[in-house]
Amino acid sequence: MEIKIIPCGILKTNCYVLSDENKQGMIIDPGANSEEILSYVQGAGIHVKYIINTHGHWDHIGANIPVSAATGAAILIHDLDKEFLEKEALNLSKAFGVVGRGGIPGELLTDGDMVAVGDISLQVLHTPGHTQGSISLLGEGMAFVGDTLFRGSIGRTDLPTGDMATMTDTLMKKLLTLPDETVIYPGHGKPTTIGAEKENNPYIRL
């Protein structure tokens, strides 16, 4: 699997374009920079089947509509964050100077679902805390975790539907139980590993 990281928007949200050797692919969190995302996809000849949002904040869904329109990809989001696609009070688009929507979901995800495209298969892990419908996507030896866990930090819980107790439970019982060598691809910043965060993250107490 090839992973292309495209930092998007003023918050440098990581948009991940995944593709297999047959150019079948999916996009995780196209928050902005739709022209750049589409230029890469089209230049690489990738057929995008799905757009997956790890949660519903604007910096992760802002380019859903143009990218979906250009590629024909279905938009996937957890059932508990579906309203974020329509309601700016939840998706925080006004903070970015717009009143924005994230499109109509083609499928609503729940914990344990599998999202497969070509040779790529990711398992949906419900990881609430940053939002009630936040998800992580687990692949072989890797996880795309949205804004739940970062290198040296964790996601905010003071935004709509966020909750610190839930975040702590998610970290302790779901993400930090993954193998130490699991590579973590966060919503912002550089990749890390579960082992590195156990050892170095000041917000994690084991």
Q: Which CATH number goes with the domain that contains 166?
A: 3.60.15.10
User: What pLDDT tens digit does each residue of the chain (206 aa) get?
Assistant: 999 999 999 999 999 999 999 999 999 999 999 999 999 999 999 999 999 999 999 999 999 999 999 999 999 999 999 999 999 999 999 988 898 999 999 999 999 999 999 999 999 999 999 999 999 999 999 999 999 999 999 999 999 999 999 999 999 999 999 999 999 999 999 999 999 999 999 998 76
pLDDT for the residue numbered 168: 96
* 166: enclosing H helix or E strand: helix 164-170
Q: Give me the number of domains the chain comprises.
A: 1
Residue 205 maps to a domain: no
pLDDT for the residue numbered 113: 98
Give the three-class secondary structure for 136. strand
What radius of gyration, in Å, describes the C-alpha atoms of the chain?
16
pLDDT for the residue numbered 206: 65
Extract the runs of DSSP E, i.e. beta strands, from 84-191: 107-109, 114-117, 120-126, 135-139, 142-146, 149-150, 153-154, 183-186
CB neighbours (10 Å) of residue 75? 23
Residue 195 maps to a domain: yes
Q: Which residues pair with 15 in a beta bridge?
A: 6
Extract the runs of DSSP E, i.e. beta strands, from 9-141: 13-19, 24-28, 47-52, 74-78, 107-109, 114-117, 120-126, 135-139
Residue 165 maps to a domain: yes
Residues 149, 189 contacting (CB under 8 angstroms): no
Q: Which residues pair with 150 in a beta bridge?
A: 153
State the residue range of the domain holding 85. Answer: 2-200
pTM higher than 0.95? yes
Residue 206 maps to a domain: no
**Torsion-angle region of 140 (φ positive above 0: left; ψ -120 to 50: alpha; else: beta):** beta
Angle between helices 64-71 and 34-44 (to 10 degrees): 30
Residue 41 phi/psi, 5° resolution? -60, -45
Tell me, rounded to whole angstroms, the distance of Cα 42 from its chain centroid: 21
Residue 91 maps to a domain: yes
Residue 22 maps to a domain: yes
